[in-house]
Amino acid sequence: MMHKASALIALVGASTALIAGAQGGSAAGGGLGDPQRHAAQGERAVTVPAQVAHTAPPATARTGVGHGVRVGKVTITTRERNGTYELVDPTRGGLSTHDFFADDNKKPLSDRDNVWGDGTMKSRQSAAVDAHFAAEKTWDYFQNTFGRRGVHNDGKGPSMTVHYDRNRADAFADHNGASFGDGKDGKNPTTSVDVVAHEYTHAINQATARLASSGEGAGLNEATSDIFGTMVEFYANTPADAPDYLIGEKANFYGDGKPLRYMDKPSRDGKSPDYYKPGIGRPDNVHYAAGVANHFFYLLAEGSGKKVINGTAYNSPTHNGSKITGIGRSKAARIWYKALTTQFSSTTNYKSARAGTLKASAALYGKNSTEYRTVEQAWTAVNVKQ
């Protein structure tokens, strides 16, 4: 959520939704629709002052034990004040987690013994553990990998809000935080590690490239969040959620246990294209336009053909029948991040994304490197040409 008084979550500035629509650039919108309509219907407002999550000194940091719905038993960093523990992480810029339906939702969740949740939806703390832990791991991934401290690289942590609305199967982000629904049945919180990191990354896009909210740019926007959502899932490497190239598989958005998207072969979802073609930026849901970039990233990282990673089977095809040997997910992510922060902009489309990642790979590894050549091959393999 944006730390601003009298604003609905994810309706401040630019908002993004995991499945209902994407919003980048500078316009407001996204999956929640019109702010005035929601306000008129009496939706609960979140009024978190800008300073609430950033006032406590690091000395108050404590290690808590969390039992999440999606992440299982984990350790989390909390803040102790006056004998009460709060879901605020002083070591990560005051990153905080809130309950949308709390009596005073401008305050982070609190607890007396620093043991949070019971792993089920019977405790409102359980989904908060998921979001808090995943946001901490996302902060750590971007800091330890790229030196980025927070969404805006200013050392300030974002705010996570759980139990958003009623029976909402979606997750949303704005400039400096995210909110997560509990699913259509109120029992399936959208707080898996890759979903939380996906939304966090939308805020980073808004702070950097500002990839567009429509057309091919929107597909690249969504793919960027899928890519780093996946990378954070590998980084977190929790027993409860083995890392994979499936998007939102633990969030169970549709109630059938299936992922939202598949990076190795996007068409496995029945709608996303495996390869580029003109008009790809005009599907009925911009998330499908992410398929081509997701496929590119998988090929760049892991290569083509059949393989099993962490127990999950993949079989990634290529448009031209070529065989590709991946360069590894770490190098692939470094190339994408450098392109995002130095080459991409609000006007970037698939052709210019190819050019931008080639420039990034040349800067990182050299124009005559295997990495550079594999970037070329992977784009050609998804039919994105010069």
Active site residues: 199, 287
Q: Counting Cβ atoms within 10 Å, is residue 320 exposed (0-12), middle (13-18) or buried (19+)? A: exposed
Per DSSP bridges, beta strands 61-68 and 115-116 are parallel
Question: Do 165 and 181 contact (CB within 8 A), yes or no?
Answer: yes
Which runs of E-coded beta strand occur in 37-154?
61-68, 72-81, 84-86, 88-89, 95-99, 110-111, 115-116
Q: Which two tokens stand for residue 54?
A: 């950033």
User: Which of left, alpha, beta for 163 (phi over 0: left; psi -120 to 50: alpha)?
Assistant: left
Structure tokens that stand for 211 in this block? 């990839």
Specify the amino acid at residue 276.
Answer: Y
Closest CA to 242 of 314, 330, 310: 310
Asked if 121 contacts 187 with a C-beta cutoff of 8 angstroms, the reply is yes
Q: Are strands 159-162 and 95-99 parallel, antiparallel or unpaired?
A: parallel
At 102 the three-state DSSP class reads coil
For residues 223-241, one letter each, b for 16 or more C-beta atoms within 10 angstroms of the residue's C-beta and e for the rest, the string is bbbbbbbbbbbbbbebebb
Residue 332 phi/psi, 5° resolution? -60, -40
Q: Considering only CA atoms, which of 26, 52, 30, 32 is closest in space to residue 44?
A: 32
Local structure of 159: helix, strand or coil: strand
Q: Could you give the count of Cα atoms lying within 13 Å of 156 in the half-sphere of its Cβ?
A: 17
Q: Which tokens go with 278?
A: 């003109």
Tell me the β-bridge partners of 241: 238
Residue 108 DSSP class:
P
H helical segments located in 254-325: 291-302
